[in-house]
Amino acid sequence: MNTRNRISAHYRAYEQMNLRDIFKFLHQSTFGCEHMVTSLEAATAYIKKEAENISDTKLLVEPLDGEFSRVHLSVLREGLTPETLAKLFYLSAKKEKSSAEALEEKLRATRELITEGVLPFDKNEFDRAAAQWKQSGYEALHHSDSFRAAYKPAYRVISNSFVPFLELFTAIDKALEKGRVILAVEGRSAGGKTTLAKELQKIYGCTVFHTDDFFLQPYQRTPERYAEIGGNLDRERFFDEVIVPLKENRAVSYRKFDCSTFTLLPPVEVNAQKLTVIEGAYSLHPYFGNYFDLSVFLDISPDLQRERILNRNPEMADRFFDEWIPLEEKYFAQMQIKQRCEIAVNI
């Protein structure tokens, strides 16, 4: 949806808004929420206090015109904790922002809509208000009193990069209430598995293990092994060194495979946190059994997958397209991996 359509849709949803509320929408669309974040602790405490008197809404997520969305506090009633929402809010404030020039483009689109009669505001009044706002350095604004009275806004602005995973974060929070959790992150190449694992570390301080650290050792690289479904992972060592100690709730000591020397590096000892993430293709191979408490599959269209691989790893692209992806697809299909996951996210 382009800027004009997004602004028009926003007005149709909130017809009692005034110019201040339009400006706030444009500011959040451009700069997100940085001006409101003083500390993670303060953000958490304020969300808890505000959540005591929120009203229900079916619109839990409202996209803005840019890289951010408003997430209504009613999402807490779905099981997301105030602590997690505050962390998303806090981390979103650190994401890269657009420029004042981008905001001014949105202001020009708004003026066009007023001129065309799509927005019922006075053009001269808009020009005066926009000029004053520019003079103030495009300061952050509060909603108007009329908007607050009519709509009782109760939301936080978070990065769109987090939005597709709200269901997952909610499932994690609900599972953590019962005790320790092992999460398996599966999915197609270039689907964002490693990126998600890094974000989960920032949000939950979790332990992460990567199946990419368990490439086949030289003696395992036989035609017979590659003919197996999921045979291009050293699943025996991953099971013994990672899965077994996790299931027994003890420290994990494992050796990463060094692709430059084709040898195993010295052991690394890790004490798993309350949330542990197993990330990577073949992490749900039946060989491992039902070791996980929660699983998610990250899907991606073939066109976007190809674009990402060519951009990030062009020198290895042919091996992805001709070798690794066909092996993964065979594994996904024959072992019904996506169907076995509780949550699926389309990137």
User: pLDDT tens digit string along 233-280?
Assistant: 999 999 999 999 999 999 999 999 999 999 999 999 999 899 999 999
Q: In the Cβ-directed half-sphere of 182, how many Cα atoms lie within 13 Å?
A: 19
Dihedral sign from CA coordinates of 148, 150, 156, 158:
negative
pLDDT digits (tens, 9 = 90+) for 290-324: 999 999 999 999 999 999 999 998 999 999 999 89
Mean pLDDT to the nearest integer, 59-76 = 93
Mean pLDDT to the nearest integer, 78-95 = 93
- How far CA 253 is from CA of 237, 246, 263, 316, in Å, comes to 11, 10, 17, 30
Q: Is the pLDDT of residue 12 over 80?
A: yes
Q: Is the pLDDT of residue 121 over 70?
A: yes
Contact 278, 194 (CB under 8 A): no
- Helix 166-176 to helix 82-92 angle (10° resolution) is 140
Q: Are strands 275-279 and 181-187 parallel, antiparallel or unpaired?
A: parallel
Q: How far apart are the first and last CA of the chain?
A: 17
Mean pLDDT to the nearest integer, 179-192 = 96
d(CA 66, CA 249): 43
Residues with Cβ within 8 Å of 326's Cβ and at least 6 positions away in sequence, in order, are none
**Would you list the domain boundaries of the chain?**
3-161, 165-346
Assigned architecture for domain 165-346: 3-Layer(aba) Sandwich (3.40)
Averaged pLDDT of the chain: 94
d(CA 328, CA 88): 32
DSSP state of 118: S
pLDDT digits (tens, 9 = 90+) for 275-287: 999 999 999 999 9
Contact 189, 320 (CB under 8 A): yes
pTM score, two decimals? 0.93
